[in-house]
Amino acid sequence: MRLIHTSTLQLKEWITEIPHYVILSHTWGPEEVTFDDFSLPHARSMIGYDKIRRCCEQAVRDGFEWAWVDTCCIDKRSSAELSEAINSMWKWYWNASICYAWLSDVPANARSDPGLLLQSFQNSKWFTRGWCLQELLAPAVVEFYDETWTILGTKSSLLSIISTVTWIDEVALSQRQKIRKASVAQRLSWAATRLTSRAEDRAYCLLGLLDLNMPLLYGEGKRAFYRLQLELLKTFEDQTLFAWELPNASIEDMGLLAPSPLAFQFSGNIRAGQEAWPGSSVTNRGLVIQLPCLP
């Protein structure tokens, strides 16, 4: 795991005994500073460098020596490193002392008008991005900042508003240990309308939330979500995976597994049963599963 020293803005790699650190959550924009760029002189003139600098300045004020920012702390040239990072992302956000969520589209002048501030916060694109879901749920402490890095509040202080915006119940937002008790269908419903730049990332951004590890195959497109569901079948005995619907789809478009997280949009209230049932298995002929037959 690479971390940025918040005073010198130099990268250092840690294998064991990782120090306390803060972590940045943001939406990607133009001229992001990559690992390749970070040590080069031109990096400081790039638009994306400012958020890294401001994150580190806030970390220093909060008494932290180390920070993690995805744009420059992962060497995306290495497919092995990228795969390891994505499969570790939930853990990294979980272990962070504070997560700074920078909402670049919440303007500073909104603070003078409570109604405008609330509207700007609720409409931030941060709440629409797939990767930002785990960045909201995994950390114990999330602090929200507007475009000028003025604090808006915390996950705790804004709990009711965040729950309304995200359709995630307050228990899951405030007691992260209970996220694992939510059914597969519930967790997928939280991601239903969130978007990612690449089709594969709609599945990959859910690995930590679903407690899965899976090889990344960029280029597989929407098949990544199908493969994710197969991993869920192998790992969990949670039949809510089949509790999805696409109201406007024809029967020819329907299969046993959902085509995308959007199919779980209305599955937020579905809970797994308490009865123990034999596990399922997938063969070359289909799915083998035992289900109750109700009169």
List pLDDT tens digits, range 124-159.
999 999 999 999 999 999 999 999 999 999 999 999
Which pLDDT belongs to residue 288?
79
Looking at residues 188-203, what average pLDDT do you find? 98
pLDDT digits over 5-23, tens only? 999 999 999 998 999 999 9
- Counting other chains too, the contacts that 199-204 makes at CB distance below 8 Å and 24 or more residues apart are 199/224, 200/224, 201/130, 201/131, 202/130, 202/260, 202/261, 203/227, 203/228, 204/86
Which pLDDT belongs to residue 256?
87
- Please give the Cα distance from 222 to 35 (Å, whole number): 28
Burial of 281 per CB tally in 10 Å (0-12, 13-18, 19+):
exposed
Looking at residues 85-112, what average pLDDT do you find? 96
Average pLDDT, the chain: 94
Phi, psi (deg, nearest 5) at residue 38: -55, -40
Q: Strands across the sheet with 98-102, in order?
A: 11-13, 2-5, 66-68, 22-25, 98-102, 142-145, 151-154
Token reading at 63: 């008494």
3-state helix, strand, coil in the chain (%, to 5): 40, 10, 45
292 pLDDT more than 90: no
Which pLDDT belongs to residue 277?
64
Residues 6+ apart with CB under 8 A from 191: 130, 133, 202, 205, 206, 209, 261, 264
pTM of the predicted structure, to 2 decimals: 0.93
- In eight-state DSSP terms, residue 269 is T
Looking at residues 187-194, what average pLDDT do you find? 98
Which pLDDT belongs to residue 34?
96
Delimit the domains of the chain by residue range.
Answer: 1-180, 182-287
The percentage of residues in the chain with a pLDDT greater than 70, rounded to a whole number, is 95
